[in-house]
């Protein structure tokens, strides 16, 4: 029964994550700018995660502060950088296209693991790589007279996938023994500082005095649904399902994004694009598929206990 509950938790988590692109697009329609919106998102969710961890195990959060430099690294090269690319990609392409581009990250993880960690590049990884990028080509309209996304949008979407790949790999290597809630709390916190600084350096403003009630409501949803709840549900599910199976189940995220974008934004993919999205979905499953008991070289079994 507990395993079934964990399975449901991961599916709900994927649905929550899947709302981010649509909610962010709606926030842009309310006048939000990418960097200030992202800075506020990170700052508020960092406080929520810290409060949650303090109630569960304050000592773990305090001890985690000794790895401050490592969290800065994870933010600058991974999660924070990926989020900046993702938020800007949504200004250049539709939520559905960006969601599919983001899910090239399992194929990227496979390539990085093979190159950096000498993990065996098995046949399923080769298939995953081919399917993923063939699917993306169809989704963005490489062979169409009217592409569905600009080159800038495609590069930003793939940049988000690369940043997420780096974070997934480095987080276990760098702070693998820390509880994952602690890792995410500090990563969110330093990402807020980094994005806030970037906002000011680029001439932007962090003032929210002129935000509309609708924009504040959308920020609240962005913080609670595809960030706070999504992360906690996924971390809860991964403990019993294991990272490989949880990752496969979480590949349903783009499906939720595509469905929600169609319902709310009337952003509907063509049949060719849907075929491409299906290829990416199959590619992601192929990339994450492992025999029972098999773990990737980048993630050791003793590190998984720290989730």
Summarised one tens digit per residue, pLDDT across range 188-200 is 999 999 999 999 9
Max intra-chain CA distance, the chain: 58
H or E element at residue 5? helix 2-17
pLDDT value for 307: 32
Residue 287 lies in a domain: yes
Please tell me the total count of domains within the chain: 1
Question: Which pLDDT score is estimated for 154?
Answer: 86
State the pLDDT at residue 303. Answer: 32
Q: Which two tokens stand for residue 220?
A: 């609240």
User: For the residues 1-19, what does the mean pLDDT come to?
Assistant: 81
Q: Is residue 228 part of a domain?
A: no
Query: How far, in Å, CA of 85 to CA of 137, rounded?
Result: 19
Residue 37 inside a domain? The answer is: yes
Tokens 């590069």 belong to residue: 155
pLDDT digits (tens, 9 = 90+) for 87-128: 999 999 888 888 888 877 777 777 777 777 666 666 766 777
pLDDT, position 103: 77
pTM for this structure? 0.84
The residue whose two tokens read 């993880």 is: 109
229 domain-assigned: no
pLDDT value of position 242:
65
* Helix segments in 18-104, DSSP class H: 20-29, 34-56, 58-64, 68-77, 79-89, 95-102
pLDDT at position 205 over 50: yes
For 293: left if phi > 0, alpha if psi spans -120 to 50, otherwise beta; the answer is left
Q: What was the pLDDT predicted at 227?
A: 92
**pLDDT value at residue 192:** 95
What average pLDDT does this structure show over 39-56? 95
3-state SS class at 151? helix
- C-alpha 28/C-alpha 218 separation (Å) is 10
d(CA 82, CA 85): 5
pLDDT band at 33 (very low <50, low <70, confident <90, very high): very high
Tell me whether residue 298 is in a domain: no
pLDDT > 70 in the chain, percent: 82
Among 187, 170, 183, 180, smallest CA distance to 235 is for 180
Task: Give the separation between CA 12 and CA 170, rounded to whole angstroms.
Answer: 26
Q: 129 is in which domain, residue-wise?
A: 16-218+247-291
Higher pLDDT, 122 or 234: 234
* pLDDT at site 268: 78
pLDDT at 304 over 60: no
The answer to whether residue 99 is domain-embedded is: yes
Give residue 27's pLDDT.
96
Report pLDDT for 125: 67
| pLDDT for the residue numbered 146 | 67
pLDDT in tens, 272-284: 778 877 877 777 6
Q: What is the mean pLDDT of the chain?
A: 81
Please give the Cα distance from 273 to 261 (Å, whole number): 14
In a domain, 30, yes or no: yes
Is residue 213's pLDDT more than 70? yes
Per-residue 3-state assignment (H helix, E strand, C coil) for 85-148: HHHHHCCCCCHHHHHHHHCCHHHHHHHHHHHHCCCCCCHHHHHHHHHHHHHHHHHHCCCCCCCC
- Select, from the ranges 170-174, 212-216, 249-253, 278-282, the one with the highest average predicted confidence (pLDDT): 212-216
Q: What percent of the chain has pLDDT over 90?
A: 33
Highest mean pLDDT among 82-91, 150-159, 251-260 belongs to 82-91
Residue 58 lies in a domain: yes
- Mean pLDDT over residues 22-47, rounded? 95
Joined tokens for residue 216? 């504040």
Instruction: Pick left, alpha or beta for residue 118 (phi over 0 → left; psi -120 to 50 → alpha; otherwise beta).
Output: left
Contacts of 9 (CB under 8 A, 6+ apart): 233, 234, 236, 237
The stretch 260-280 carries a mean pLDDT of 82
Q: Which one has a higher pLDDT value, 223 or 302? A: 223
CA distances from residue 47 to 15, 152, 192 in whole angstroms, order as listed: 23, 33, 11
């Amino acid at each position: 029964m507990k395993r079934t509950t964990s399975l449901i938790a991961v599916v709900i988590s994927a649905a929550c994550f899947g709302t981010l692109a649509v909610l962010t697009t709606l926030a842009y329609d309310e006048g939000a700018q990418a960097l200030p919106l992202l800075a506020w998102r990170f700052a508020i969710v960092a406080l929520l995660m810290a409060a949650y961890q303090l109630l569960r195990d304050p000592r773990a959060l305090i001890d985690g502060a000794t790895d401050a430099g490592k969290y800065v690294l994870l933010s600058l090269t991974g999660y924070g950088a990926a989020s900046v690319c993702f938020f800007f990609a949504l200004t250049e392409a539709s939520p559905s296209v960006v969601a599919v581009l983001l899910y090239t990250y399992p194929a990227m993880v496979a390539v990085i693991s093979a190159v950096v960690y000498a993990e065996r590049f098995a046949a399923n990884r080769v298939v995953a790589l081919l399917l993923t990028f063939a699917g993306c080509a169809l989704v963005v309209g490489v062979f169409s007279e009217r592409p569905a996304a600009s080159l800038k949008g495609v590069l930003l979407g793939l940049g988000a996938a690369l940043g997420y790949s780096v974070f997934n790999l480095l987080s276990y290597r760098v702070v693998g023994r820390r509880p994952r809630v602690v890792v995410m709390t500090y990563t969110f916190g330093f990402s807020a500082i980094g994005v806030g600084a970037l906002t000011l350096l680029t001439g932007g403003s962090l003032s929210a005095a002129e935000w509309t009630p609708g924009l504040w409501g959308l920020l609240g949803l962005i913080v609670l649904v595809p960030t706070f709840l999504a992360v906690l549900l996924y971390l809860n599910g991964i403990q019993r399902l294991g990272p490989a199976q949880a990752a496969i189940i979480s590949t349903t995220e783009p499906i939720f994004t595509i469905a929600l974008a169609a319902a709310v934004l009337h952003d509907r993919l063509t049949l060719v694009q849907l075929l491409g999205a299906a290829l990416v979905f199959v590619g992601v499953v192929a990339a994450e598929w492992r025999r029972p008991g098999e773990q990737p070289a980048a993630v050791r079994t003793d590190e998984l206990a720290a989730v």
